[in-house]
Amino acid sequence: MFGRNVSTSLLREDVMRCMEMREIGSRQILVYMGYLYKYLKETNRAEYVSFVDPNKIPATQDGSTSSQHIANQLKASNGDSICLIPYNTGYHWILTVINEDKDTIYLLDSMGNRNRDNAWKTTVCNGVRTYLCMRGNPKRPTFKQLTGNLKQQGCVECGYCVMQYMKEIVECEDLQLERKFAGCVKNQYYTQT
């Protein structure tokens, strides 16, 4: 799934967190990504979507290590695939999606239309730009925040929303994200139900 072997375990506590809809971490998201990858392989669509391991995105002050990791992941993926990057800002999960042409970066945030983490935006843009330069294309990628997605009502649903966004993208035959997540969704919240 990431171009290398990854082993992770869910503890009983991790399962209970999901059942009780408490705050989740990267282990739960990583296992869910494995489920989605298995689904993609079973439907012969694994080459259309690639994933970035959220545990391998180092939190550095300047972001250069993270940018290089993103560039390396894009290089290892199929050039015609979209890339899903779940990222925890330290207190909140967001989903970053890089389109198949690697020139547009989308952000899905369950807290609405407010990109409060400009450092992450810069890190991802630099990673995509590094990848494009490696391919001989010095183009600067564009960054768009998509707003037509499920929101969180409380303070712990962000990880669940990120998993839902990934599921919707993986199950979608037409990967036109701007059309899929267009507009503004009102009163649609991720709930335990």
What type of residue sits at position 20? E
Where do the structural domains in the chain lie, given as residue ranges? 12-172
Distance separating alpha carbons of residues 179 and 144, to the nearest angstrom: 13
Supply the pLDDT for residue 74.
Answer: 84
Residue 118 in contact with residue 76, Cβ under 8 Å?
no
- Higher-confidence residue of 112 and 48: namely 48
Of 54, 168, 163, 49, give the one whose Cα is nearest residue 100.
49
Number of alpha helices (DSSP H) and beta strands (DSSP E) in the chain: 6, 5
> φ, ψ for residue 126 (rounded to 5)?
-65, -40
Supply the pLDDT for residue 117.
Answer: 63
* Whether the predicted pLDDT of 179 surpasses 80: no
Distance separating alpha carbons of residues 120 and 104, to the nearest angstrom: 15
Q: Name the average pLDDT for the chain.
A: 82
Q: How many other C-beta atoms can be found within 10 angstroms of the C-beta atom of residue 136?
A: 6
Distance separating alpha carbons of residues 6 and 15, to the nearest angstrom: 19
pTM of this structure: 0.86
pLDDT tens-digit series, residues 114-128: 555 678 888 899 989
pLDDT tens-digit series, residues 19-51: 888 899 888 999 999 999 999 999 998 888 888
Determine whether 147 is exposed, middle or buried from the number of CB atoms within 10 Å of its CB (0-12, 13-18, 19+).
middle
Lowest mean pLDDT among 16-30, 130-144, 168-182: 168-182
Of 61, 85, 59, 60, give the one whose Cα is nearest residue 71.
85
Q: C-alpha 70: how far from its chain's center?
A: 12
The fourth-level CATH superfamily of domain 12-172 is Adenoviral Proteinase; Chain A (3.40.395.10)
Enter the tokens of residue 35: 């489920």
Residue 127 in contact with residue 68, Cβ under 8 Å?
yes
Lowest mean pLDDT among 45-54, 148-157, 176-185: 176-185
* Whether the predicted pLDDT of 170 surpasses 60: yes
Enter the tokens of residue 110: 């369950």
